[in-house]
Chains A and B, each alone.
Chain A
Amino acid sequence: MDQDWLSLKMSDHILVISWAFFATVFILIALGTLRNLIYIKRKQSTARNFTWLMIMMVLYSVLAMPVAHESVRFGSAFWKTASLVILFIVINFIIINALRVAWVNYLNKKQKLGCFWGGFLLLPIQIYFTVRFQGVNPIYPFSPVLERFIEIGNIFLSVYLVVAFLALLAHLPTAKLFDRKLQQISSLHFLSRAVSSEFDVDKLVRTIVQLTTKVTEADFAWLELQHENDQQLRLVSSCRLDQTERDNKDVCFSDPLVQKIIRDRSTFSSNQAVKNSHSSHLRNWKHDLGSLIAVPLATGERVVGILYAGKTYEFGFEQEDGEMLRAFGDQAVIALENARLVKESLIKERLEQELKVAHDAQMKLLPIDMPTLPGIAIDAVCITANEVGGDYYDFFKLSPTKLGVIIGDVSGKGASAAFYMAEVKGIMESLARPDLSPKDMMCAANETLYQNFSRNIFISVVYAVLDSEANTFTFCRAGHCPVLFMSSEDEFCKRFEPRGLGLGLDSGKIFKSVLDEVTIPLKKGHTMMLYTDGVTESRNPDGEEFGENRLSEILQSVHRKSALEIKKQVIHAVFTFLDGERAYDDMTFVVIKDME
């Protein structure tokens, strides 16, 4: 310290400057690292304390200047005192900051050991250098401020490292336990992530079993789940069980252990599994069984599976292993349920898609374009309740002036009705001929359908022939809803319900004798409506039926409008009546209007 900077040789200059450079870099890096360590688990005051320490360290360093220069106006004694006071404050802040060693907690056992040995070797060197250069640092002649800063920085580093080392020492004995807790928590965390991301049941059960061995540090683990078909438990995945063990593990509800777990719906834990009456029989299956934990996987009241973890030696599990596995099992069952639901909804979605295709296909069976007949306007609609249904209407152009109109309803619902409907359409199309009266046509259709359809299937139909030349509407009602008729002069709607039997109910004799054919003369303004029972039987939220009377009333009120407008009004009226209630059956109707 007595040496003067100017009196030094050139080679010494270089030495001192490089020494100063490396020492400064070292201390800045060290302070940066300490700052990061101190800021782990930071509180509001952490940053403030550290900043104050830095400020005080700089202040203390700066004070080296007046102390070194005797020429300053105030005596050197004043600056020395001031330096001491600041040093005292700096030391206080060093201690405060040095106690921030929370990061030690979060090292795993391996890291803790690494740090311990690292500190064991490096700490003495650090302390040695700090003490060795105390007050005799060669930088002093170059810059007393820098010298002081490096000095106080080293002290801080040393103190901090000593405290951290001691904290590490204190944490070493619990390192293993801490590690295990971390492991368990991360496994649980991993599983809860899997809950929301893994929908493949096979992968999921593998993950569950593997994590089970981690959570409990078990030697082997396996999972038994209820099979969809027979509800029996089966081994679905295992970890560290050999092939023979996997093959030989037959599970059934009569197994005393399974029975106990399902009955109690609580964790089974035994540190001497072969001596426990409930699990002793497992010895025949797995010879090296020592300790065993089994937890039920339950959704609501139902046990859907059992998760097992085992060790090859006795007294391998602690009380909390059971609790941990239980918590783990609760997560696992959520994951499994989730995966199952996703699978179900995928299947459902696919079915819905297929039904939509079927619906589109069926809609194509219905005529899109309305037929034209001189002076007569026709409109029709079919609203299906399900994706596919048994309602149907069609038109046959019999001659330039003759049009066949058919509306029908196949018994039953859904897909089966839809198939029959398609077949009925084909049969009717092939039978429709201009020279065939509605009655003859129905008799022929009945014969074919009776022979080809199963007995419990029948079809109700109204078949009508419109003749624009003779101005007649001739029809038969084969078990179907009546035909509504409205003339422009009348105030009320007429309901035509001639006798008739559904198609496919009788071999032919009764059918023919029962069926009546009716002819109505057509005049301008006459309106006819053919409909299926889906219209009249649709129910509102109170369970009330739309009924024939309401339908007649609507026709009475709108019959002067065009066929298209009548159709719209009827649909509107029915849906207003339904009031948001879902239609239970297909709704179909045909409106025929004489315009001339």
Chain B
Amino acid sequence: MENFNVNCKDVDELSILYLEGFLDAHTAPLLESEIQKLVDRDRYKLIVNFKDLNYISSAGLGVFMGFVETIRSNQGDIKMCCMPSKIFRVFDLLGFPSLYDIVDGEEEAVKLYRNSEAESSVKQNSSQKS
């Protein structure tokens, strides 16, 4: 059985998950519990870094689907970055790019969050003005 590992790092209000190894039906519960922990801590702004992931199966993809609704309803999101081409191919076939922000680098994912914050604060300001 090949190994799978998740490391989690908090950067301000963002939580970055580093996936490593082989994510399939057997290892998916590990990722699930890791994301559940973040949700329990009310951390909804996730960035998932796929740099060191070798394989992802449909069960692995299912983990993100299982959480994305809750996370988005709490003004959070799951943004994905640093996908090896093989992993991206799996996401792409299923049409995930139309559901998630998938970017090249971690900084870009962070930037996406910062921009949307700026946007919402601009909106807030404008609504206050009006």
Contacts and interface: CB of A to CB of B under 8 A. Distances in A.
A500 B95 contact: yes
B25 A510 contact: no
B94 A456 contact: no
Interface string A406-421: 0001111110000000
A457 interface: yes
Contact of B95 (A412, A457, A505): A505
A412 B58 contact: yes
B59 A502 contact: no
A533 B57 CA distance: 10
B66 A414 contact: no
Contact of B98 (A454, A481, A482, A501): A501
A157 to B, nearest CB: 78
Given A412-B25, A501-B98, A505-B99, A456 B93 contact: no
B43 to A, nearest CB: 19
Contact of B62 (A414, A458, A497): A458
B62 to A, nearest CB: 4
A501 B99 contact: yes
B52 to A, nearest CB: 16
Interface in A415-473: 454-458, 460
A500 B92 CA distance: 9
Interface residues of A, number: 28
A458 B95 CA distance: 12
A506 interface: yes
Contact of B66 (A456, A478, A482, A506): A456
Contact of B65 (A410, A458, A499): A458
Given A479-B95, A510-B99, A514-B98, A413 B25 contact: yes
A414 B25 contact: yes
A137 B98 CA distance: 124
Interface residues of B, number: 19
A585 to B, nearest CB: 8
A458 B58 contact: yes
Contact of A480 (B25, B68, B69, B93): B93
B110 interface: no
Interface in B71-106: 90, 93-96, 98-99
A430 to B, nearest CB: 24
Nearest to B68: A455
Interface string A352-380: 00000000000000000000000000000
Interface in B12-67: 24-25, 57-59, 61-63, 65-66
Given A455-B66, A458-B65, A480-B93, A413 B59 contact: yes
Nearest to B55: A537
A456 B95 contact: no
Contact of A456 (B24, B62, B98, B99): B62
A514 B95 contact: yes
Contacts of B59: 411-413
A550 to B, nearest CB: 15
Contacts of B25: 412-414
A480 B58 CA distance: 11
B70 to A, nearest CB: 9
Contacts of A480: 93
A481 B66 CA distance: 23
A412 B23 CA distance: 11
Nearest to B70: A455
A472 B101 CA distance: 36
Contacts of A585: 57
A195 B68 CA distance: 56
Nearest to A515: B95
A506 B61 contact: no
A514 B100 CA distance: 13
B28 to A, nearest CB: 8
Contacts of A510: 98-99
Contacts of B62: 411-412, 456-458
A499 B59 CA distance: 22
Contacts of B94: 458, 460, 479, 501-502, 505
A412 B95 CA distance: 17
A455 B65 contact: yes
A43 B115 CA distance: 101
Contacts of B65: 455-458, 505
Contacts of B63: 456
Contacts of A414: 25
A455 B69 contact: yes
Contacts of A458: 58, 61-62, 65, 94
Most buried by A among B58, B69, B98: B58
B82 to A, nearest CB: 21
Nearest to B2: A543
A66 B94 CA distance: 119
A460 B98 contact: no
Contacts of A457: 62, 65
Interface of B: 24-25, 57-59, 61-63, 65-66, 68-69, 90, 93-96, 98-99
Closest CB pairs A-B (n = 6): A501-B95, A456-B66, A411-B58, A456-B62, A479-B94, A413-B25
Given A458-B94, A460-B58, A478-B95, 5 more contacts: A410-B58, A455-B69, A505-B95, A506-B99, A510-B99
16 contacts: A411-B58, A412-B62, A413-B24, A413-B25, A413-B59, A455-B69, A456-B65, A458-B62, A478-B95, A479-B93, A482-B93, A501-B95, A502-B95, A505-B95, A505-B99, A585-B57
